[in-house]
Amino acid sequence: MKKAIAIAFATTLFLACSSEKTENKSEATADSAAATPAKTQPVEFADSKYSEIGNKGLAGLSSGDIDGWMSSFADNAVYIWNSGDSLAGKAAITAYWKKRRGEVIDSLSYKNQIWLPIKVNQPQSVEQTGIWLLGWYEVTAKYKTGKTMSQWIHTDMHFDANDKIDRAIQYIDRAPINAATKK
């Protein structure tokens, strides 16, 4: 019986010492974590206000308000398509879209919009650091030819320090556009 009591006492004492060491280790780990600054992630979510800029832009394009849409662009903005074509400068982008909406496109509508605002802290390849808005949406365009085209489009927009778009990259399929604009 004395052996059983001694074993029980020793076990209790051992467990008490072990849990105290565990508590001390947990406190020490928490203290060292608080003292160590968090590592900056390569990419993180950005403010949802950028999604609103994307929504407002598509609403402007849809209604034909090119000036309203262009208000979110920087003067030195560049607009690039996946085909390699591009426009440089807000004035050139504005002139292109005004002509396109006035002479080629009768109406535009957008649905199923998905927006992902991100902040790139450490580039993984060639992208710029800073705020990017990635957008996916389905567009339906009715052309002056009377033909209609629908497709999914992906657009990446980079924002400068003043929250203005300084780079827009649009990924589209030109084949359905060419077919719809052909007379």
pLDDT tens digits along 130-149: 999 999 999 999 999 999 99
Our separate counts of H helices and E strands in the chain read: 5, 7
Give the dihedral sign, CA 14/20/22/24: negative
32 and 60 share a domain? Answer: no
The more confidently predicted of residues 167 and 8 is 167
Write the pLDDT tens digit of every residue in 17-51: 444 444 455 555 555 556 667 888 999 999 999 99
Give the pLDDT score at 38: 80
Tell me: do 14 and 72 sit in the same domain.
Answer: no
Q: Does residue 11 carry a pLDDT above 50?
A: no
- Indicate the pTM of the whole model: 0.78
Domain count, the chain: 2
Rounded to whole angstroms, the Cα distance separating 97 from 66 reads 7
Same domain, 21 and 100: no
Cα angle value 70/75/77 (rounded, 5°): 80
Q: What is the mean pLDDT of residues 108-112?
A: 97
Query: Are 150 and 107 within 8 A, CB to CB?
Result: no
What is the C-alpha to C-alpha distance for residues 165 and 157, in angstroms, rounded to an integer? 6
Looking at the structure, tell me whether residues 109 and 159 fall in a common domain. Answer: yes
pLDDT band at 168 (very low <50, low <70, confident <90, very high): very high
Position 127 scores a pLDDT of 79
Same domain, 120 and 106: yes
Residues 32 and 58 in one domain: no
Residues 153 and 64 in one domain: yes
Return the ∠ at Cα 149 (arms to 83 and 103), rounded to 5°: 80
CA distance 142 to 164: 29
Q: Are 133 and 116 in contact (CB under 8 A)?
A: yes
Gap between the Cα atoms of 83 and 37, Å rounded:
43
One domain for residues 75 and 146: yes
Do 2 and 84 lie in a common domain? Answer: no
Range of the domain at 24: 1-38
